[in-house]
């Protein structure tokens, strides 16, 4: 992550992202707080939903134009010119505040969102151009964290100032707007600074389109149909977009109804408390974004998505049962953390899979689909509120939508979810350091051979690789009733003394398909931490495949709870065990067992110094 922040333009870009979200959120909070002060019950829910819908609608209308612009022109220039547009909009908003023009200010929420809709695809597409594939997860994590800090800061900043300028004697929405009008100049100032910083962003065009935009085709819906076909071209991209759409729909409804729920069920009337509780979700997103980036250090960890969806759904079901503001605050913070587990990997996954020439279109399309979903959900919220459905009912309804989302992402990312859970559990007690990863080929077949010191070796060996390793496993363990299904999903190869030749034939077939296969030649877990005899079974694997042998040595697990020898340790319970994994240089496929053992013994000796 430190190396990413050192890249030219990264800090500048993140400041631009911050200011754009800070300004958008500032105006939205001022309008929402005005609605909160003036209206109650169902009408409050409806107006809050309408405000959110005005923010979402431009992303639907600008699907084709914003995607075209992001693919056709340098993305840094789109960020710059959008910032200029924002200056004029915020000046108009400030004028409306001073003249008590509530409905004009209300409607200008749409224009501010229009600027963001044009800006959005370029903003996210620029990540890939600015930091490259190597840091794409870190870049998305940083953008998500910065955006959330901006939202969190905007909520607190503008709500505190709103309450400071508001007085109980103000009766109408027009009077309230005139009282808080000076806040408009802060929106203008933020837009000016954003423009200045955006004008300094480096040009990073990788591949620009030469197409021309035809307004007639846009109005006839031809671009919409074409761009939707591009979106659906890769099933993985489209499914990720649908998952994001369901997540944002749930989030929008929760945010829209929480104000009324807090007022009617918890008796909270101060906007600082209401917005503050929701802002804590922002703290959760910041923490979750950095965690998601950390767990995606070696590849985009899509396994986090199902964990996030599951945690978020549980919290949505729990909210109606809580009558404590403190407990509610903690729940919203964890809601944000789990949200980041969905947002960071899925956005990075979409960008990674998207061809550069269509990146802007796909990101704009993702925004389009997500906002269609959110508008539809907000419309349903409005209808339910109109017919007297209370906030608690809507929380339960969103919980069931969450159940569907959990089922969907578990089905898509089942194997990755298993490994994400293993990594989460492992990192609570261990700190892993991998050496020599550059020795492992990224495409061709790999036969991993190394020492065996604990029950966790297979998990630790897999963590830095997105490609799945097929482990040879004792047949009796493979057939354990409870784990058998997971082992099959993990494509393990059962081996026994009576049928070892068949296992090695299957390993050969996997290697022929350029897979990664791992064998522990010692045949069992070490009793004393020293290297045992290396059996020659792996030598039976036919060598007619394109690949290499990679020797490995695992250090630091002997004597732990998961090894066969458990020595007493004087380290404190909360102190993490340092685990090091070393991958040696590639070896010829005909390397013999004794030679292999000598090489790993040398690796062990060198790393003990």
Assign 202 a pLDDT band (cuts: 50, 70, 90): confident
Which range is least confidently modeled, 5-9, 27-31, 100-104?
5-9
| 173 belongs to a structural domain | yes
**Mean pLDDT of the 61-86 span:** 82
Residue 102, CA atoms < 13 Å, CB-side half-sphere? 15
* Backbone phi and psi for residue 555, each to the nearest 5 degrees, phi listed first: -125, 135
Residues 402, 475, single domain; the answer is: no
| 447 belongs to a structural domain | yes
Residues 507, 574, single domain; the answer is: yes
- Mind listing the pLDDT tens digit for each residue in 291-325? 888 888 888 899 999 999 999 999 999 988 877 77
DSSP letter for each residue of 243-307: HHHHHHHHHHHHHHHHHHHHHHHS----HHHHHHHHHHHHHHHHHHHHHHHHHTSSS--THHHHH
Helix axes 136-165, 271-295, angle to 10 degrees: 170
| 419 belongs to a structural domain | no
Residues 347, 444, single domain; the answer is: no
Residues 376, 491, single domain; the answer is: no
DSSP letter for each residue of 311-376: HHHHHHHHGGG---HHHHHHHHHHHHHHHHHHHHHHHHHHHHHS-GGGHHHHHHHHHHHHHHHHHH
Which range is least confidently modeled, 178-192, 259-273, 303-317?
259-273
Total domain count for the chain?
2
Amino acid 7: pLDDT: 81
Residues 287, 348, single domain; the answer is: yes
d(CA 412, CA 238): 12
Residues 515, 566, single domain; the answer is: yes
Residues 434, 375, single domain; the answer is: no
Amino acid 26: pLDDT: 86
| 210 belongs to a structural domain | no
Residues 399, 440, single domain; the answer is: no
| 212 belongs to a structural domain | no
Indicate whether 209 pLDDT > 60: no
Indicate whether 549 pLDDT > 90: yes
Residues 335, 435, single domain; the answer is: no
Amino acid 430: pLDDT: 87
Average pLDDT, the chain: 83
Residues 391, 519, single domain; the answer is: no
Other beta carbons within 10 Å of 523: 15
Q: How far is CA 126 from the centre of its chain?
A: 17
Residues 572, 524, single domain; the answer is: yes
Which range is least confidently modeled, 99-103, 112-116, 180-184, 240-244?
112-116
pTM of the model: 0.74
**Mean pLDDT of the 353-357 span:** 80
Of 384, 412, 440, the last residue of a domain is 412
* Backbone phi and psi for residue 62, each to the nearest 5 degrees, phi listed first: -100, 15
Assign 271 a pLDDT band (cuts: 50, 70, 90): low
The boundaries of the domain holding residue 182 are 2-202+228-412
Other beta carbons within 10 Å of 244: 23
Indicate whether 594 pLDDT > 70: yes
Residues 300, 404, single domain; the answer is: yes
The CATH number of the domain holding residue 196 is 1.20.1250.20
| 215 belongs to a structural domain | no
Assign 190 a pLDDT band (cuts: 50, 70, 90): very high
Indicate whether 206 pLDDT > 60: no
d(CA 191, CA 26): 11
CB 434 within 8 A of CB 465: no
**SS3 state of residue 554:** strand
Amino acid 371: pLDDT: 78
Residue 80, CA atoms < 13 Å, CB-side half-sphere? 14
| 213 belongs to a structural domain | no
**SS3 state of residue 433:** strand
Q: Which of 127, 122, 95 is nearest to 111 (CA)?
A: 95
In the chain, % helix, strand, coil (3-state, to 5) comes to 70, 5, 25
């Amino acid at each position: 992550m430190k190396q990413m922040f050192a890249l030219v333009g990264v800090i500048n870009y993140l400041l631009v992202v911050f200011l754009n979200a800070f300004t958008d959120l500032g105006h939205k909070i001022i309008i929402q707080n005005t609605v909160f002060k003036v209206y109650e019950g169902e009408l409050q829910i409806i107006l809050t939903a309408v405000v959110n819908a005005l923010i979402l609608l431009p992303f639907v209308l600008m699907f084709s134009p914003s995607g075209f612009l992001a693919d056709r022109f340098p993305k840094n220039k789109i960020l710059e010119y959008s910032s200029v547009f924002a200056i004029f909009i915020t000046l108009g908003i400030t004028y409306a505040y001073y003249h008590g023009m509530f409905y004009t200010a209300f409607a200008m929420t749409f224009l501010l969102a229009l600027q963001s809709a044009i800006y959005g695809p370029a903003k996210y597409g620029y990540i890939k151009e600015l930091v490259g594939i190597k840091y794409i997860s870190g870049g998305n994590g940083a953008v998500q964290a910065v955006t959330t800090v901006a939202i969190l800061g905007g909520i607190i900043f503008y709500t505190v100032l709103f309450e400071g300028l508001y007085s109980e004697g103000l009766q109408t929405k027009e009077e309230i707007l005139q009282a808080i009008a000076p806040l408009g100049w802060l929106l203008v100032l933020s837009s000016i600074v954003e423009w200045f910083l955006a004008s300094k962003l480096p040009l990073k065009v990788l591949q620009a389109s030469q197409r021309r935009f035809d307004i007639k085709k846009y109005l006839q819906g031809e671009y919409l149909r074409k761009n939707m076909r591009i979106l659906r071209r890769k099933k993985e991209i489209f499914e990720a977009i649908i998952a994001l759409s369901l997540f944002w729909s749930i989030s929008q409804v929760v945010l829209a109804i929480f104000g009324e729920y807090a007022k009617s069920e918890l008796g909270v009337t101060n906007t600082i408390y209401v917005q503050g509780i929701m802002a804590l979700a922002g703290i959760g997103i910041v923490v979750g974004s950095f965690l998601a980036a950390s767990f995606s250090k070696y590849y985009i960890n899509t396994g986090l998505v199902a964990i996030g969806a599951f945690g978020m759904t549980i919290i949505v079901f729990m909210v109606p049962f809580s009558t404590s503001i403190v407990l509610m605050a903690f729940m919203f913070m964890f809601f944000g953390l789990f949200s980041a587990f969905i947002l960071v990997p899925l956005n990075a996954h979409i960008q990674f899979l998207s061809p550069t020439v269509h990146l802007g279109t796909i990101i704009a399309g993702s925004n389009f689909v997500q906002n269609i979903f959110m508008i539809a959900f907000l419309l349903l919220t409005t209808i339910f509120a109109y017919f007297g459905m209370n906030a608690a009912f809507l929380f339960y309804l969103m919980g069931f939508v969450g159940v569907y989302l959990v089922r969907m992402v578990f089905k898509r990312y089942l194997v990755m979810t298993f490994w994400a859970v293993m990594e989460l559990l492992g990192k609570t007690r261990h700190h892993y350091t991998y050496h020599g990863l550059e020795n492992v080929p990224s495409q061709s077949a790999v036969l991993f051979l190394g020492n065996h010191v604990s029950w966790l070796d297979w998990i630790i060996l897999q963590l830095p690789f997105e490609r799945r390793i097929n482990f040879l496993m004792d047949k009796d363990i493979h057939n354990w009733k409870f784990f058998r299904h997971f082992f099959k999903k993990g494509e393990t190869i059962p081996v026994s003394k009576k049928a070892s030749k068949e296992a090695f034939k299957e390993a050969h077939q996997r290697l022929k398909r350029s897979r990664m296969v791992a064998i522990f030649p010692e045949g069992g877990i070490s009793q004393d931490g020293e290297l045992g005899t290396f059996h020659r079974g792996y030598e039976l694997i036919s060598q007619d495949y394109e690949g290499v042998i990679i020797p490995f040595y695992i250090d630091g697990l002997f004597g732990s709870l998961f090894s066969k020898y458990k020595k007493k340790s004087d380290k404190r319970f909360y102190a993490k065990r340092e685990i090091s994994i070393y991958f040696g240089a590639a070896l010829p496929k005909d390397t013999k067992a004794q030679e292999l053992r000598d090489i790993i013994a040398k690796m062990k000796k060198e790393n003990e110094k």
